[in-house]
Amino acid sequence: MHGALLIAGATSDAGKSTVTAGLCRLLARRGVRVAPFKAQNMSNNSVATVERDGTSGEIGRAQATQALACGLAPSTRFNPVLLKPGGDRRSQLVLHGRAVGDVGARDYVERRRWLLDEVTAGLRRLRDEFDVVLCEGAGSPAEINLRATDIANMGLAEAADLPVIVVGDIDRGGVLAHLAGTVAVLAPEDQRRVYGYLINRFRGDPSILEPGLAQLERLTGRPTLGVLPYLRDLWLDAEDSLAALGTDLVGRGASRPDALQVAAIALPRVSNTTDVEALACEPGLTVRWTIRPADVAAADLVILPGTKATVADLAWLRRTGLADALVARAAAGRPLVGICGGYQMLGRGIADPHGAEAPAGTRIDGLGVLDLDVEFAADKCVRNVTGTGFGAPASGYEIHHGTVVRTAEQPFLAGPDGPEGAARGATYGTHWHGLFGADEFRRAFLARTFPGFAPGPEISYDGARLAQLDTVADALEEHCDLDALMNPLRSPGVFSPILPSLRIVAY
């Protein structure tokens, strides 16, 4: 088995990331040297990497999860282009793990040829190193208005000569039309690369679906290679914050009557939503996203998470009344944790000398809960970190421009460079993402913050992530024609006929 294939989606959130991660896990369990690849990702959920030369970078969370499935450490090689939206029309461009500036849609179009060369060169290097490279598409390949500038879907498939499967989400309805229509609107040279479909999130009796799948194959000349069941327990490592916030409940929620209630503020430009997932793994905690001041007042613990737009989201907190609720909570001595941008908001003020989020030289008042000042630096800090807190080992990663330039607070943690974060009463702040994923620290924090509360059986956050990856791999093994799915990796070439017409007529 050798080569690469592209896993595309008929729609956004069709399950491309999950299917790619599951296939990575399945092949790795069989001893195949496999690696993930996403040429271009758009997400504010990112992870710090440690590269072979000791430098750090950042990639999308989904590719870090897929690397875990392969038994690999996260690397910028797996996600060379990352777009981090800071507003509706502009995003920070991260290339090979490093921020290189902000771009709008038109700016990005102008860079397309250069970026395509960068990603195809990176893919070639991975293909030389690994037996199989599983490439995840972005959005949908049927966005034909973007085809001329595409570097992640059919543009990548053309440049790297990749076979393509298309994943469709049956749970949202219309999946047969989504799959047939996706292929139908593609140009003939792109159509020939699509060799089959996967249907995701199916509930019910598969026999009822079979006539539709047979007709789909007659109409398009391509088989459905598997129908994956709806896997109810998949919720960790959601790449897209919109998917993570699609319901206010994080994970399955605790059934214990004495469960602690955790409220996480759903900021408009929230980043690294996965920071609260480790808390949701604890059987004694119920974690919910919220935008209601009443929930801030009622919860046992409140998390003010990171954001890609600290200044804009701070203004949003004030408009919604959440700022007043957070200040009142801190004044009452009730547990509150600010992470990265959320930590910066809790301080006295934020200076922006370089115009990162506001006119150059602007100073924005913070919530004043913590006696510290923040300044946006020109360069981004990206690194993995280890230390201690509450007498337990702690670890995480930093991805931020804001730097604490003055503090009168006690530290929250002991980090690699000395004191980290701030602690005043029951209010805490840190730049460390992923902190609650450190099992010993999480349990120590809960025990100290809520005396007498027993977290329950010890939970391994990384173990829970691997268990979910194994669940997807098991489903793929049981419900897919793996020989047909992997055939292009055994028999390279043209994998399916060109549709005779872009007009599909059923009768």
Active-site position among 178, 401, 431, 433: 433
Active-site position among 340, 400, 401, 480: 340
What whole-number distance in Å separates Cα of residue 444 and Cα of residue 262?
17
Whether residue 303 contacts residue 78, with contact meaning beta carbons closer than 8 Å, is answered with no
Amino acid letter, 94: V
Whether residue 197 contacts residue 216, with contact meaning beta carbons closer than 8 Å, is answered with yes
- Catalytic annotation present for 2: no
Whether residue 165 contacts residue 197, with contact meaning beta carbons closer than 8 Å, is answered with yes
Whether residue 170 contacts residue 201, with contact meaning beta carbons closer than 8 Å, is answered with yes
CA 379, 385, 389, 394: dihedral to nearest 10 degrees? Answer: 140
Whether residue 456 contacts residue 282, with contact meaning beta carbons closer than 8 Å, is answered with yes
What whole-number distance in Å separates Cα of residue 495 and Cα of residue 491?
9
Q: What is the DSSP letter of 172?
A: G
Q: What is the DSSP letter of 411?
A: P
Exposure letters 60-80 (e unless 16+ CB within 10 A, then b) = bbbbbbbbbbbebebbbbbbb
Say what angle helices 16-29 and 61-70 make with each other, to 10 degrees. Answer: 20
Say what angle helices 16-29 and 461-479 make with each other, to 10 degrees. Answer: 90
Backbone angles phi, psi at 199, to 5 degrees: -105, 135
Which residues, in sequence order, are bridge partners of residue 393? Answer: 388
Contacts 24+ apart (CB under 8 A), 55-58: 55/97, 56/97, 56/382, 56/383, 56/384, 57/94, 57/96, 57/97, 57/98, 57/382, 58/82, 58/94, 58/97, 58/382, 58/399
- Catalytic annotation present for 433: yes
What whole-number distance in Å separates Cα of residue 216 and Cα of residue 337?
51
Whether residue 399 contacts residue 303, with contact meaning beta carbons closer than 8 Å, is answered with no
Could you give the 3-state DSSP secondary structure of residue 506?
A: coil
Indicate which residues carry an active-site annotation: 340, 433
